[in-house]
Amino acid sequence: MSDKLKKIFNACNPNNPADEKYYTDCRKARGGDILARKVQARLDYIEHSYLRFLFTGHIGSGKSSELLHLGNLLKKDTNFFPVYVDVRDYVNLENVTLEEILLAIAVEISDAFQKDLNITLKNSYFEEKFGEVKNLLLTKRKFTKIEVSLFGLAKGEIQEIKQNDEAKRRLFEAIAKDNRSLLDELNLFISKAQLELAKSDSAFTKIVIMVDSLEKIQKFEANTNVIDSHKELFIERNDKLTGIEAHTIYTVPLSLYRSDASPKLLHYYGDVLPLPMVKIFHRGKFNSEYEEGCKAFKEILTKRLGEISLTEAFEDKALDFLVKYSGGNLRNLMLFIQEAIISSDELPINFKTARKSIQPTVRAYAASIKESAYPKLVALDENPKQQIDTEDDSFWTMLENLTVMEYANGDDTNSLDDSWYAVNPVVYEVGKFQTAKEEFQKSKRKSKK
Amino acid sequence: MEAKKSESENFDEEAEIRRLVRSISLSEKYFLFFASCNQLPKQKDLIKEVKKRLKGKKIEIVEFKEPIKSLLSELRTKIKNKKPDAVFVLGLRYSIPSAKRGKETSFIANLNVSRDSFPEFLECPMILFMPEYALTKLMNGAPDFFSVRSGIFFFENDENIMSRQISQAISLGYDEHNALLVEERRQRTENLKELLAEYQSLPENKRDFKTEFQLKDKLANIYWKTANFSEAERLRLELLQQIEINDDDEIARQFNELAGVYKAQGRYNEAIEKLEEALRIGEKTVGKEHPDYATRLSNLATVYDFQGRYDEAIEKYEEALRIGEKTVGKEHPDYAIRLSNLALVYHSQGRYDEAIEKYEEALRIGEKTIGKEHPDYAVLLNNLAGVYDSQGRYDEAIEKYQEALRIGEKIIGKEHPDYATRLNNLASVYEAQGNYQAALDLFEVALRINEKTLPENHPYTILLRKSVARCRAMLGK
């Protein structure tokens, strides 16, 4: 087996987290700076209240990259000071409490002020609470130059608490026995921070907190399953998440957004944005390539493959095929390449192998699509506006498992809400879809007569 | 009618095994793979084969025998400090019930959100084996987990096990065609075709549509039994068109027959659709407490069994048994057939003791109703032997197989594919015991019979050729 095959296979690891060095700007192809434009448009109008904004999307679709990008934009030329919180650094996803999320926010605010603005925020409440566990942390490391003290501990030390059951217990006890509420204290701390912001010589006046990875929580407080956990955190306890006195953006699970809880989410938070796919073809024209999108995908691939060039790895026709059938989902593209490598002994990957590589996925969809869904899928495919009946629950599952994909027109038009849908290209290969399509066209011809 | 494109046609077993082996050799870290295979015993055989080809690799097999809540936490304790090169997981079917009531199990939801945590403690590929229905459930219920896969492998139902089931399905519904040899069947087919053509060529006013219908029905049946499924399907669809509008019983019967054709082709979802339709009609016309209703339920259960949807299969068989007991009583060959079908499911699930219990009851009923010298009795013995075989109780397995062979020889003769299947089963036990010479002798006889009696390159024949080659290799020939 050639080393190169192995390298390509491993370079397409779908578990690789969003790595900066592979980062490619897909925004234009996705419909522009969709998150940033929406958030900024809202921020511009808000004067006496706080922004509440939910952000969702498929795993690996690039939510974190979009959030980080938004942060950079805000930092560059707005009055809004971004604080990015990845809760994974502070919680064990299999067992999360609200306290941990609030603490994580406080720590990241403190850290961002220190790093970006060189402002040290003091707070006796948090210092006292973290002081309770100081002696329990295993690595009593000396602070290095960059590791400054936040509330009396280094950031790295605070992040260790999540793995230290004893420290966690003591910290929670200390918070619980106090009459002061953690949320109130956090808000006081935020007020102080906003004040410092206004006093500083920077242009910033308001904090925007972006909390990432909330959608990955598996168990929240006393709940026994994931669905209840998500409902509890985002809906039952919405008063906590919406009670933070700063602009906030949270990531929310797609499954919750695509469930009957959706109206409630909109009610409490006002806005939910699902991240669209990268456009690979033009709206309603599967055979008309959207150059920007294809280019972006090939660029990502080039970066991932490193020293192996695209022409060395793929015949042109094969690569075009794989990109097209990914439907604008990067993970699908990676999957198809891996499937192709598993079935091939030589490079470049040829067209025949490329075609074969999508077959297992075709079969999986053929088995999963309900009989009753085919006419709906054909109707979507034949609809020049590429719209679905969003009231029809059966689309929730199909949007979630990517039978149907969501795109945004974005920069092409001035409308912000101009999303459209398409059948996953893989579904075109399913026999029953083809039959349903033929029947549709037959009946259309008949009615014309 | 144009042949429908089937998604399952492209998956050749040897190619899939090779792809699976390759995927493990290619993986330098954690990667997730799915292997779809409906039959539990076959899953184990496949893993054995993959292990053999990956000599020197440390393979960890984790098998669950009951529902679990979280795969992540189970694996954490089971894999701890082991540092394997690959992990195979079996038995997730218990956590992914096929019945509708298990709509959203916490297991599936847990899987979906825990997808990021696997690479944190597993540094090698993980291959999850499950029946195809479970894969679909995962795809719908845990789309994020499903989306981080690096490949899926599809393994079709094993012909060997299939042959056991088909031979059972056909022989137990014993009719005149079963006793015919290939040549005789071919002649019968020709005769029916000619006769039908003659009837059809009569002037319109003299045609006898009733007889034509019956001839076609017979022809469809023989096509089905000779594995000419496309012709069988074509005729059944024509028959459906010709039924008089208000003849609901006949429609239901045709749906049932059509389902049999689909089932034999592995088009399980279509088979289920037709059977459900037949049951719906039957409920209206004869009601639920009727032997026909029980038969169709039992057929539906068999399809579920083929799909690996064991809990639903058991449920339907049990209902069919209950209806059977009320309508025709326990001392009836049909009751024995269903007991034996239920036992087959238990066998697939590895519930050997329960399977044996059911077979013993079926044999007792069989002895009283059809007698010991009946081909169906031989099938029951053959299946019971299969359980002993799976348990490693080889001496008992051999004893039962030999008895089944003796009965079969008397009735269907030595030149019959069913006889070859039983020879094959017996030979497999010899092979498992390491008695390669005895195994080879029987495999060769079976191969010779199949080459003579079955169409060229029939799957069973190919399987037997492989077995012969394997034994020869073991004997250094």
Is the model's pLDDT at A54 over the cut of 90?
Answer: yes
Q: Do A227 and B109 touch (CB under 8 A)?
A: yes
Partner B contacted by A60 (CB < 8 A): yes
The nearest alpha carbon in chain B to A13 belongs to B31
Q: Do A226 and B112 touch (CB under 8 A)?
A: yes
Which tens digits make up the pLDDT trace of A376-403? 999 999 988 888 887 787 888 888 889 9
Closest Cβ opposite residue B6 in set A356, A364, A431: A431
Distance from CA of A9 to the nearest CA of B (A): 7
Q: Do A331 and B147 touch (CB under 8 A)?
A: yes
Q: Do A401 and B140 touch (CB under 8 A)?
A: yes
Which residues of A are less than 8 Å from B127 in CB distance?
Answer: none
Q: Do B150 and A339 touch (CB under 8 A)?
A: yes
Which tens digits make up the pLDDT trace of A62-98? 788 889 889 999 998 889 999 999 999 999 888 899 9
Q: Do A367 and B136 touch (CB under 8 A)?
A: yes
What SS3 class is residue B289?
Answer: coil
Measuring CA to CA, which residue among B349, B342, B311 is closest to residue B324?
A: B342
Dihedral sign, Cα of residue B359, residue B363, residue B369, residue B371: positive
CA distance A396 to A390: 8
Q: How many CA atoms lie within 13 A of A180 on its CB side?
A: 13
Total residues belonging to chain B = 477
Which residues of A are less than 8 Å from B114 in CB distance?
Answer: 93-94, 218
Q: Parallel, antiparallel, or unpaired for β A285-289 and A149-150?
A: unpaired
Is the model's pLDDT at B100 over the cut of 80?
Answer: no
Q: What pLDDT is stored for residue A302 in this prediction?
A: 93
Q: What pLDDT is stored for residue A164 in this prediction?
A: 86
Is the model's pLDDT at A352 over the cut of 80?
Answer: yes
CA distance A433 to A431: 5
Closest Cβ opposite residue B19 in set A59, A343, A368: A343
From the number of C-beta atoms within 10 Å of its C-beta (0-12, 13-18, 19+), residue B408 rates as buried
Is the model's pLDDT at B142 over the cut of 50?
Answer: yes
Mean pLDDT score, B461-474: 88
Report the run of H or E that residue A419 belongs to, with start and end. Answer: strand A419-423
Partner A contacted by B152 (CB < 8 A): yes
Q: Beta partners for A149?
A: A154
Which tens digits make up the pLDDT trace of A12-43? 988 765 555 666 777 777 877 788 888 988 88
Q: What pLDDT is stored for residue B179 in this prediction?
A: 52
Which DSSP string do the residues of B291-357 spell out, in sequence order? HHHHHHHHHHHHHHHHHT-HHHHHHHHHHHHHHHHHHT-SSSHHHHHHHHHHHHHHHHHT-HHHHHH
Within 10 A of B192 (CB to CB), how many other CB atoms are there? 18
Q: Do A227 and B11 touch (CB under 8 A)?
A: no
CA distance B251 to B272: 15
Closest Cβ opposite residue A339 in set B144, B147, B151: B151
Q: How confident is the model at residue B182 (pLDDT cuts 50, 70, 90)?
A: low
Q: What pLDDT is stored for residue B177 in this prediction?
A: 53
* Average pLDDT of every residue of chain A: 87
Which DSSP string do the residues of A4-41 spell out, in sequence order? HHHHHHHHT-TT----GGG----HHHHTSSHHHHHHHH
- Name which residue leads in pLDDT, B374 or A333: A333
Contact A177/A200 with Cβ under 8 angstroms? no
Which residues of A are less than 8 Å from B119 in CB distance?
Answer: 15
Closest Cβ opposite residue B147 in set A5, A59, A255: A59
Residue B401 carries which side chain, given as an amino acid letter? Y
Is the model's pLDDT at A307 over the cut of 70?
Answer: yes
What SS3 class is residue A55?
Answer: strand
Closest Cβ opposite residue A363 in set B73, B118, B154: B154
Closest Cβ opposite residue B7 in set A13, A218, A366: A366
Mean pLDDT score, B235-239: 93
Which residues of B are less than 8 Å from A402 in CB distance?
Answer: 143, 147
Distance from CA of B19 to the nearest CA of A (A): 5
Q: Beta partners for B60?
A: B87
Q: Cα separations (Å) of B191 from B194, B226, B228, B424?
A: 5, 15, 16, 33
Closest Cβ opposite residue A217 in set B22, B113, B143: B113
Q: What pLDDT is stored for residue B265 in this prediction?
A: 77
Contact B416/B185 with Cβ under 8 angstroms? no
- Name which residue leads in pLDDT, B462 or B102: B462
Contact A404/A422 with Cβ under 8 angstroms? yes
Chain B residues 15-44 with a CB less than 8 Å from chain A: 15, 19, 22-23, 25-32
Chain B residues 51-70 with a CB less than 8 Å from chain A: 70
Between B76-85, B112-121, B327-336, the lowest mean confidence (pLDDT) is in B112-121
Chain B residues 272-311 with a CB less than 8 Å from chain A: 273
CA distance B286 to B288: 7
Report the run of H or E that residue B104 belongs to, with start and end. Answer: none
Closest Cβ opposite residue B150 in set A14, A60, A218: A14
The nearest alpha carbon in chain A to B105 belongs to A225
Q: Cα separations (Å) of A226 from A434, B41, B70, B217?
A: 37, 33, 11, 54
What SS3 class is residue A157?
Answer: helix
Partner A contacted by B76 (CB < 8 A): no
Q: Do A343 and B143 touch (CB under 8 A)?
A: no
CA distance A226 to A375: 33
Q: How confident is the model at residue B268 (pLDDT cuts 50, 70, 90)?
A: confident
Distance from CA of A318 to the nearest CA of B (A): 18
Which tens digits make up the pLDDT trace of A183-205? 999 999 999 999 999 888 899 98
Is the model's pLDDT at B62 over the cut of 60?
Answer: yes
CA distance B156 to B159: 9
Partner A contacted by B12 (CB < 8 A): no
A138 — alpha (psi -120 to 50), left (phi > 0) or beta? Answer: alpha
Partner A contacted by B473 (CB < 8 A): no
Contact A278/A330 with Cβ under 8 angstroms? yes
Which DSSP string do the residues of A88-114 spell out, in sequence order? GGT-BTTBB-HHHHHHHHHHHHHHHII
Distance from CA of B360 to the nearest CA of A (A): 37
Q: What pLDDT is stored for residue B173 in this prediction?
A: 42
CA distance A19 to A53: 25
Alpha-carbon radius of gyration of chain B: 24
Q: What pLDDT is stored for residue A204 in this prediction?
A: 93
Q: Do B116 and A371 touch (CB under 8 A)?
A: no
Measuring CA to CA, which residue among A271, A309, A282 is closest to residue A42?
A: A271
**Which of A139-143, B207-211, B368-372 has the highest mean predicted lDDT (pLDDT)?**
B368-372
